[in-house]
Structure 1
Amino acid sequence: MSAAEQHDKNQPWLWADDVWQRSVNKVRAGRSLKPAQWKNGARMAVALSFDADHETMELRNGGISISRLSQGQYGARSGMPRILKLLDKYAVPASIYMPAVSAMINADEARAVVASGHEIGIHSWIHEFNSRLDEATERDLALRAADVLERVCGIRPVGMRTASWDFSPHTLKIAREMGLLYDSSLMADDEPYELLEDGEPTGIVEIPVEWIRDDAPYVAMDRMTGARPYGDPAMVLEIFQRELELAYDEGGLFQLTMHPHHVGHRSRIFILEEIIRQAQAKGDVWFTTHAELAAYCAKEAGIGRAA
């Protein structure tokens, strides 16, 4: 934005049309990449994901609360092992998004994820907000995060999920420079779609998320701020089940985001198990990682490096 536009950033009703149009058109949903048929003729695709934020939820704010750091440590120490055991029980793959700092603190966890056949994806450096960074800093942190995950896990990530789904005007450009296959941070559809940048197709697959299909808004509780209410786990399960049922009726994608320090607790892990059991009971369902899903959609659409 120009100096004049910056001056008026808190008065968007004064913007010239081309100002808000640039914001709207910077990153948009392009054509749907929902395939005519899911892999192996499945009626529905199921993509489970876990954001292994752990200690970075406190560190990203410069916090020094040992109590909150311990809450993050629970995710790696107890939550993730419980999740991995359950995924193994049902032979279901998943995608785990891990900040680089989390991977360095909990390297054994990161390696266990990959050894169990799951995907590791980029999830920031220290769970920073991209929209608060300049382009050079955001690029540096994204590249460093990918390098750390590759060094720790032995595999270069092909996809990213921005921390707190905070997607800056520079994020897509950086993802393209990194040669990523997909992103999973935006919310323009229920089904995968191609991202547009300034109106042009990018070949980047978006696997959309939604706060409705995320455990954190329902169960995350900050006693000091009261920022979020606590939700009954049975209520959370019912919401997820309703999302799953209509996804199946529509022959679409059911994507879910969870956190080891939330759903990994003893009183909540049943949410994950019941979702898996309900989906598997339908029979014609394809459980997939986000990377495999993105590659399949891109290939079917004849775009990107998967074409």
Structure 2
Amino acid sequence: MEPWQWDEVTWRRKVNKVRAGRSLRPKAWKNRARIAVALSFDSDHESNELRDGGESIGRMSQGQYGNRVGIPRILEVLRQANIPATFFVPAVVALLYPEEQQRVVDAGHEIGLHGWIHELNTKVPPADERDLHMRAAEVLERVTGIRPVGMRTPSWDFSAVTLQIQRELGLLYDSSLMADDDPYEILEDGEPTGIVELPVEWIRDDAVYFNMNRFAAHRPYTPPPAVLDIFRREFDRAYADGGLFLLTMHPHVIGYRSRIFILEELIRHIKTHPDVWFATHAEIANFVKV
């Protein structure tokens, strides 16, 4: 049937499969902070090319840049600022670069699930999706020594069974959906799940402003100062609201010499404000979960 032929029961069932439930934004954040700041980095590296069956040496070298240059540069910025962050890592990347993941953990940061090979969940049969997420959790635990408690689905692609798999994994939080600015509890078929959603948005993602593919029509480019201005405005409004400011970045995108200043300047700007709580995604989810 075409969508225009669906009866009300059908389209309501589709809409209500995964929904935002009660808001989990607290009256005050930890230590009476006015705002929670969650910086995150999706360490996709070569998996962006591999997940589509690609063999482009050039695109994989761009992914390797994320490991060789992007991650060290980001970790140094975070070290100098003395703030924690969360890194979402596909299992294939963790296997390619186990020493990178250990360095991230040793620096006090969190590592979360990000699929097996950055696959699109809606393109994978349900049984295979479950197997991939289960194996990914095992790999990250083996590589880092810590069981991940949160997931960001690759490309924020969420299938009809993703939430069931997250519940089976016993995850504390997800960070792939966009129904609010602030944390909320996820509902499945109208029922509370206990899983915290830390919402993302393409506006607060570096890749949409800079990514390009020379063999396709995908060639956006926004001047770095303009991206800094967007991120700063997002923070300023979140601060005024007393909410959550969550930013998604990628080592192979933000890590370049002409872009890393965006992260540096944004942190400096944030630190001019009193009562700011920089935290990992897990710390924030634990705080708001009641």
Q: Deviations for 1:214-236, whole angstroms, at most 9, x for unmatched residues?
A: 00000011121121411111111
Q: Deviations for 1:92-114, whole angstroms, at most 9, x for unmatched residues?
A: 10000000000111111111100
- Normalised TM-score (structure 2): 0.99
CA contact (8 A) 1:218 1:228 kept: no
Q: Distance in 1 between matches of 2:212 and 2:225?
A: 17
1:142 is aligned to 2:133: yes
- Secondary structure in structure 1 of the residue aligned to 2:40: strand
1:218 is aligned to 2:176: no
Q: Deviations for 1:240-273, whole angstroms, at most 9, x for unmatched residues?
A: 0110000001111100000000001110000001
Identity of aligned residues (%): 64
1:132 is aligned to 2:123: yes
Q: Distance in 2 between matches of 1:215 and 1:171?
A: 25
1:76 is aligned to 2:87: no
**Structure 1: 4+ residue segments shifted above 3 A:** none
1:248 is aligned to 2:239: yes
Query: What residue number does 1:21 align with?
Result: 12
1:283 is aligned to 2:261: no
Q: Distance in 1 between matches of 2:135 and 2:113?
A: 10
Measure how far apart 1:283 and its partner are: 2.2
Query: What residue number does 2:109 align with?
Result: 118
Query: What residue number does 2:230 align with?
Result: 239
Equivalences for residues 1-307 of structure 1 within 5 A: 8=1, 11-298=2-289, 302=290
Aligned residues between the structures: 290
Q: Which amino acid aligns with 2:107?
A: S
Q: Distance in 2 between matches of 1:18 and 1:163?
A: 30
Measure how far apart 1:188 and its partner are: 0.2
Q: Deviations for 1:158-188, whole angstroms, at most 9, x for unmatched residues?
A: 0000000000010001100110000000000
Query: What residue number does 1:5 align with?
Result: none
Q: Which amino acid aligns with 1:146?
A: A
CA contact (8 A) 1:217 1:228 kept: no
Q: Distance in 2 between matches of 1:228 and 1:154?
A: 39
Q: Distance in 1 between matches of 2:120 and 2:111?
A: 20
CA contact (8 A) 1:220 1:230 kept: yes
CA contact (8 A) 2:211 2:218 kept: no
CA contact (8 A) 1:55 1:71 kept: yes
Query: What residue number does 1:4 align with?
Result: none
- Normalised TM-score (structure 1): 0.94
- Secondary structure in structure 1 of the residue aligned to 2:192: strand
Q: Which amino acid aligns with 1:264?
A: G
Measure how far apart 1:18 and its partner are: 1.0
Q: Deviations for 1:196-230, whole angstroms, at most 9, x for unmatched residues?
A: 00000000000000000000000011121121411
Q: Distance in 1 between matches of 2:115 and 2:123?
A: 13
Q: Which amino acid aligns with 2:84?
A: P
Q: Distance in 1 between matches of 2:75 and 2:193?
A: 34
Structure 1 unpaired stretches of 5+: 1-7, 303-307
Q: Distance in 2 between matches of 1:132 and 1:22?
A: 21
Q: Distance in 2 between matches of 1:159 and 1:140?
A: 17
- Secondary structure in structure 2 of the residue aligned to 1:256: strand
Q: Distance in 1 between matches of 2:200 and 2:106?
A: 26
Q: Distance in 1 between matches of 2:73 and 2:156?
A: 25
CA contact (8 A) 1:247 1:254 kept: yes
- Secondary structure in structure 1 of the residue aligned to 2:182: coil
Over the residues paired in the alignment, what is the CA RMSD in angstroms?
A: 0.6
CA contact (8 A) 2:88 2:111 kept: yes
